[in-house]
Amino acid sequence: MKLGVIVSPAAGWSYTGICDLAQRAETSGFASFWVSDHFFGGPGGTPDRNCLEAWTLLAALARDTTTIRLGVLVAAVQYRNPALQAKMAASVDHISGGRLEFGIGAGWKENEYRAYGYDFPSPGDRVDQLREGIEITERLWKDDRATFHGKHYRIDDAVCAPKPTQQPRPPVWIGGAGPRVMRLAARYADGFDLGKHGDGGADLTPEEMAASFRELEAAEGASKRKVRLQRSHWSASILEADAKPLIDKIRAYAGAGLDQYLCAFPKDRAAEMVERSSEELIPAFA
């Protein structure tokens, strides 16, 4: 089981606060640190709160950390031209010395799209855009000059130089919950982040998680993958005086097939809980 920390959303955080948390996570022994891709926080948005843009935030963290792996979970494909985002990701991979985890998804937060003037297509079209965006990213990272003509996006003799540091590419994570996104993950990705929670944001039960992973396994079988997708999930995490409840939850998820658990600690206690994790949480999964 790999353990990471996620700031989701980044609303209400200063860069100093997020940077400090990432550095504490690195020192405490977490494997990865993730940020969300949102422009404002909350279902209705809270414009009076700071919310740092994900890729510029990740580039800064790449300079202010040294060993922990860094990712966006997950970048909405429509928010940035996919060819530009491929260049941005390659740049962050270089800045970080090859520590990028590339997370991408089909997007969901309609009021954010509307507020910033983005079209909000149907779920099917958003998944099609995700597929085309991944195709463009793969070609730019691999080919000297990349061409792709799709329904939503196109590139002609586009160049991504330098290529990412990691070879053959940075790990690709696709996030979501539905069968079409699972099929895309099985075809294109290295890992799948299960972006699903219970009613009202409640934790998934291990049985619910296992059921979703059975769907994912079926998608893997249909695509004839040779290497199993890594499975990731984040949820609200509390490290109280006794770490056992959180440890037991993560172990139950491991039993359901999870490979990576990302801790979303409460903002006002995140620094304290990250530091305590080095003595209580991380050793339980070493």
Tell me the C-alpha distance between 100 and 103, whole Å: 9
pLDDT at 42: 67
pLDDT at 41: 77
Write down the domain spans for the chain: 171-229
Tell me the C-alpha distance between 213 and 186, whole Å: 12
End-to-end CA distance of the chain: give it in Å, rounded.
8
pLDDT at 47: 61
Q: Are strands 146-149 and 154-158 parallel, antiparallel or unpaired?
A: antiparallel
Residue 263: strand, helix, or coil: strand
pLDDT at 198: 86
Which tokens sit at 265? 């600690």
Residue (of 261, 74, 263, 85) closest to 177 by Cα position = 74
Per-residue pLDDT of the chain (286 residues; tens, 9 = 90+): 999 999 987 788 999 999 999 999 999 999 999 999 999 876 655 665 788 999 999 999 999 999 999 999 999 999 999 999 999 999 999 999 999 999 999 999 999 999 999 999 999 999 999 999 999 999 999 999 999 999 999 999 999 999 999 999 999 999 999 999 999 999 999 999 999 998 888 999 999 999 999 999 999 999 999 999 999 999 999 998 899 999 999 999 999 999 999 999 999 999 999 999 999 999 999 9
pLDDT at 241: 87
Helix and strand totals (H; E) in the chain: 9, 11
Which tokens sit at 99? 């520590």
pLDDT at 284: 97
Q: Are strands 69-72 and 32-35 parallel, antiparallel or unpaired?
A: parallel
